[in-house]
Amino acid sequence: MLEELQFTVNHQSCSVTCHPGTSLLSLLRQLGWFGVHRVCETGDCGACTVWVNDTPVHSCIYPAMRIANESVTTIEGLSSDGELAPIQQAFLQAQGFQCGFCTPGMIMSAAKIPELLQEELRFTLKGNLCRCTGYQAIQESIVNSQQSIVNSQQSSVNSHHSVGENIPKQDGVAIVTGKASYTGDISPPGLLHLKVVRSPHPHARIRKIHTETAKAIPGVVAIFTHEDVPRIAYTTAGHAEPVPDPLDHYLLDNKVRFVGDRVAAVVAESPAIAEQACQLITVDYEILPHVIDPIQAMNDCGVVIHDELESSQIYDRDRNIAGHIFQETGNLAQAFAEADLIVKNTYYLPAVQHVHLEPHITISWLEPDGTLVVRSSTQVPFHCQTLLAKLFNLPKEKIRVYKAQLGGGFGNKQEILSEDLCVLATLRTGKPVQWEFSRKEEFTATNSRHAMTIHLKSGVKKDGLLIAQDMTIIANTGAYGNHGQTVVFLSGYIPLGLYRCPNKRLQAFAVYTNTMPAGAFRGYGATQGTFAMESQIDEIAKQLNIDPIEMRLKNVIQPGDIINLGKSEDHFNLIGSYAVSECWEKVKQLLGYLPGTPAKVEGSRRCGVGFAISMQGSGLSKIHLAKVKLSRLPNNKYELRTGSVDVGTGSDTTLRQIAAEILGVTVADINIISGDTQQTPFDAGSYASATVYISGQAVKLAAEKLLTTNENSVEISYTADESTLTFAVQGVEVEIDIETGKTQILKCVQAIDLGKAINPRICHGQVTGGIAMGIGYALMEKLLFDKQGTIINPKLRDYRIPTAADIPSIEVILVEQSDPYGPFGAKGVGEITTNCTAPAIANAIAHATGCRLYQLPMTPERVFQELKIKHFT
Ligand code: FES
Ligand code: FES
């Protein structure tokens, strides 16, 4: 029953009718206050914070009926007369945001925080989550606002020297005022909503789906099952053609392969009606045996997850192996026989989730001329367009895919997950349709980082020289094989390639199980492999009584080296610039590290230091294509069109800086249009740390070409012949309480050999954000599965990501040594920043306590167990 409600929002009187169960969040968004963001809807993230009579509340769990005759303020009401409030100004100046999806809620909470010491501030901010920034810039913003400090490090968009300057992100004002328009922040007339019935079984064949009762509900417009859609095998991975992934996924299938798999799609006039209809659909399943352990899955378990013959590009379907890698160099058996020391371990890495705060969301509609428009939160609009053309047999020119403001992706939006069924619904109903994933769906029906078991065996001479390394990786790729083969390749190739060892072997398997699929995630497998390698290198150094940094410097690849694993033509990375020694020096200096210093003991507390090094390529050479168009406008202004996507990192700003520098104008003179298949030329998309390195080089070449021509416009098409390597070195100091197992990070330093920082503050933000994600991976994050493969912690309350209280002060050193291949000497920085954190912490724990952990996350319980085993058995 609808009820009358009167109140004020941002000083405007409002009178509405609403259902008693409506949340304040839903009501405010229905009224067009889109600065109020929906993330968890359980009161756990703070993104929806507004004030009711000056008191911050989580609007997602605040009943709308409680605001009768009250006054509500949202982020849009914070500034007055066009003047930003001091807290908005402070966030803008210190750039206390990246994607900005958390920012409105963060600002509404921060504005009410009393002046506090830094340490207290971290704890007070615990109710507001940010996945991008690592909280450093947010805390700086709040302190600056409270102490009226004006940030003097800001460079102006009107500066004539752009490269190397802290030019503010171009979307900053929109973000701090709540005006940034994310995918869900529009509501076309007649918008319908899509919801999906998901499988309660890990493995079953669908005999019959009963939809009659659901169809009879007023407001239900259409229901689709596998019987209503073409059966075309594809991959959800957004890769360039020909895609390397198994083609094993269907719009809707007659078989389900994990708890959460898609069964039927309901289209209705509201999300609530669609949800209600989903619950009334009944399905007759033939339950099949299932397997959730990849080692069982590949060893004659009697379950074949992809027995359908339409699927292809599967390495060994009978053994559930989606992808396999085998590469070998030298004579491993002989080298192990000659080794003075052999160390052999197994490392266990869990499945973890991206937790970008903006969910997967798509809105699609048909233009009067028949063009299909797809507005989507995607990292890969062009790959998405290609797939939709194939699935619906449409010419590409009749499909426009574009991205709005993105609220984070971290690889999970390199997957095409929400666009396909949304488009199906639009094509069949002729209406605009929105499909927005719930937080539970994000946790249970998108993708995770691949869980892996990594066996690593190293043979070494007495002086610390590595002579043999053998790595076997078994990765759980879940029910579908998207990214499986390529991720397991990088898991071994990156850490094995990092060291010069002449005899090495990599065997890797991406194995299907009846669990949620794994996919692309920042680091792309290198994160898991680096944990194994950097943990073992430390262990070898300890056994040989060699300083861990010296051990690494003795073996790490050097300029002129090639990656000596398998055939060189299989590899696409090389060393351009190289500042690894400088990175180590900086990290040692800032940590105050003296080789041989023993762990500190103070009561129940033990302090130790640990290190790790990693490398990562910049984009994919010869594959990753970027085209840009650069045009002159009147009044010495320019327009840059690029198909690349700013996922929230600030890449649009960086690309404008590159163009401005070459053209000799200011960044303000460059207007950018990005990520739109109709408005911009092709770009492979934003992944693999490619945007600045490849799209940025295309922009530079276009600007140079424009300077040499009288034409008004130039287009450049660019793929890199070389993918140069970025290196990162990290050191941490930790304190372990041996009575509780709790690990506290006291100091954290990362030096990154990034060639050139086009925008140092944006690069800095990438590093702190990547480290914060690494801390979550190291100490707290893990998807928990029951015996059916059901994820049992699909809420932010149960699956904890780091809060401000969990992140120490982080020191970042951007080591600049110009790279010969990247634009202005720049290399990729997006992914590598996450790789070193977990092994550096594991090594510090080992130094502090003598206990080495081979499994993540290193929770207090796990550390305590290890301490107990070591000291009391
Ligand atoms: S959406 Fe309200 S607290 Fe997360
Ligand atoms: S900036 Fe905080 S979640 Fe992206």
State in Å: Cα 789 to ligand 2 middle: 30
Closest-lying ligand 1 atom to the alpha carbon of residue 38: 1
pLDDT higher than threshold 80 for residue 366? yes
Closest protein CA for atom 3 of ligand 1: 43
Query: Residue 14 CA to chain centroid, in angstroms?
Result: 39
**Ligand 2 center–CA 99 separation, angstroms:** 5
Q: What is the mean pLDDT of residues 578-583?
A: 97
Residue 135 has pLDDT above 70, yes or no: yes
- Separation between Cα atoms, residue 500 and residue 503, nearest integer Å: 9
Taking the CA of 107 as reference, the closest ligand is 2
Domain 192-291: CATH architecture, name and number where available: Alpha-Beta Complex (3.90)
Task: Give 777-806 pLDDT, tens digit per residue.
Answer: 999 999 999 999 999 999 999 999 999 999
Ligand 2: residue whose CA is nearest its atom 4: 99
The sign of the torsion formed by the CA atoms of 293, 299, 301, 304 equals positive
The fraction of the chain above a pLDDT of 70, given in percent, is 98
Ligand nearest to the CA of 95: 2
Calculate mean pLDDT across residues 284-293: 98
Where in the sequence of the chain do the CATH 3.90.1170.50 domains occur?
Answer: 192-291
150-184 burial code (b ≥16 CB/10 A, e <16): ebeebbebeeeebbbbbbbbbbbeebbbbbbebbb
Give residue 197's pLDDT: 98
361-431: CATH number: 3.30.365.10
Ligand 2 atom closest to the Cα of residue 132 is: 4
Quickly state the pLDDT bin for 114 (edges 50, 70, 90): confident
Q: What is the pLDDT of residue 191?
A: 98
Q: Give distance in angstroms: CA of 43 to centre of ligand 1.
A: 4
pLDDT at residue 568 in the model: 72
Q: Residues 265-294: what's their mean pLDDT?
A: 98
Amino acid at 762: I
Ligand 2 atom 3 nearest Cα: 130
Instruction: Check: CB of residue 424 under 8 Å from CB of residue 392.
Output: yes
Give the architecture (CATH level 2) of 575-612+722-873.
2-Layer Sandwich (3.30)
pLDDT at residue 409 is higher than 70: yes
- Name which residue leads in pLDDT, 535 or 160: 535
| The pair of three-digit structure tokens given for residue 786, joined into one six-digit string | 């029951």
* Residue to probe by mutation, ligand 1, list 44, 108, 131, 357, most atoms within 8 Å of CB: 44
Report the atom number in ligand 2 closest to the C-alpha of 356.
Answer: 3
Q: Give the distance (Å) from ligand 1 centre to CA of residue 12.
A: 24
- Alpha-carbon distance values, 713 to 69, 185, 571, 637, 684 (Å): 57, 33, 36, 12, 22
Ligand 1 center from residue 48 Cα (angstroms): 5
> Which pLDDT value is given to residue 563?
87
The CA 57 to ligand 1 mean position distance, Å, reads 10
Q: Kindly report, residue by residue over 493-515, the tens digit of the pLDDT.
A: 999 999 999 999 999 999 999 99
133, amino acid identity: T
Name every protein residue with a CB atom under 6 angstroms from any ligand 1 atom: 38-41, 43-48, 58, 60
Ligand 2 atom nearest 131 alpha carbon:
3
Looking at residue 818, its pLDDT comes to 96
**Could you tell me where in the chain the CATH 1.10.150.120 domains are found?**
1-183
- The closest-lying atom of ligand 1 relative to the alpha carbon of residue 49 is 2
Residue 98 Cα: closest atom of ligand 2? 1
Residue 721: pLDDT over 80? yes
Rounded to two decimals, the pTM is 0.96
Asked if residue 96 lies in contact with residue 133, where contact means CB atoms within 8 angstroms, the answer is: yes
The alpha carbon of 378 and the centre of ligand 1 are apart by a number of angstroms equal to 22
CATH pick for 292-352+448-521+533-559 out of 3.30.365.10, 3.90.470.10, 3.40.190.10, 1.10.150.20: 3.30.365.10
| Residue 421 clears pLDDT 80, i.e. is over it | yes
**Which strands make up the sheet holding 321-329, listed edge to edge?**
321-329, 504-512, 466-478, 451-460, 341-349
pLDDT at 151 over 70: no
Say yes or no to pLDDT of 610 above 80: yes
From 27, 33, 37, 58, the mutation candidate for ligand 1 (largest count of ligand atoms within 8 A of CB) is 58
Question: 802 alpha carbon to ligand 2 midpoint, in Å?
Answer: 13
Ligand nearest to the CA of 439: 1
Atom of ligand 1 nearest to the CA of 37: 1
101-131 burial, b at 16+ Cβ within 10 Å, e below that, comes to bbbbbbbbbbbebeeeeeeebbebbebbbbb
Q: Is residue 9 over pLDDT 90?
A: yes
Whole-number Å distance, alpha carbon 345 to ligand 2 midpoint, is 37
Across the chain, mean pLDDT equals: 95
Which pLDDT value is given to residue 148?
A: 76
- Closest ligand relative to 797 C-alpha: 1
Is residue 490 very low, low, confident or very high in pLDDT (cuts 50, 70, 90)? very high
Judge whether residue 470 has pLDDT over 70.
yes
56-65, 472-481, 565-574, 592-601: least confident range: 565-574
Can you tell me which residue has the tokens 């994600």? 773
How many Å apart are CA 368 and CA 462, to the nearest integer?
75
Q: Whose CA is nearest to atom 2 of ligand 2?
A: 130
Taking only the tens place, the pLDDT of each residue in 179-211 is 999 999 999 999 999 999 999 999 999 999 999
CATH class, domain 626-718, is: alpha beta
Q: Is the pLDDT of residue 150 over 80?
A: no
* 125 CA distance to ligand 2 middle (Å): 14
Around ligand 2, the residues with Cβ closer than 6 Å are 97-103, 130-133, 357, 408, 648
The confidence score (pLDDT) of residue 241 equals 85
Atom of ligand 1 nearest to the CA of 129: 4
What band does 722 get if pLDDT is binned at 50, 70 and 90?
confident
Q: How far apart are CA 797 and CA 234, in angstroms?
A: 34
Is the CA virtual torsion 406, 408, 411, 412 positive or negative?
Answer: negative
Q: Predicted confidence band at 153 (pLDDT cuts at 50, 70, 90)?
A: low
Q: What is the pLDDT of residue 152?
A: 55
Tell me, what's the pLDDT at 873?
Answer: 53
Atom from ligand 2 closest to the CA of residue 357: 3
* Residue/partner pairs of 764-767 with CB below 8 Å, 24 or more apart: 764/812, 764/814, 765/95, 765/98, 765/132, 765/133, 765/134, 765/137, 765/649, 765/650, 766/649, 766/829, 766/830, 766/833, 767/810, 767/812, 767/814, 767/829, 767/833
**What class, spelled out in words, does domain 1-183 have in CATH?**
mainly alpha
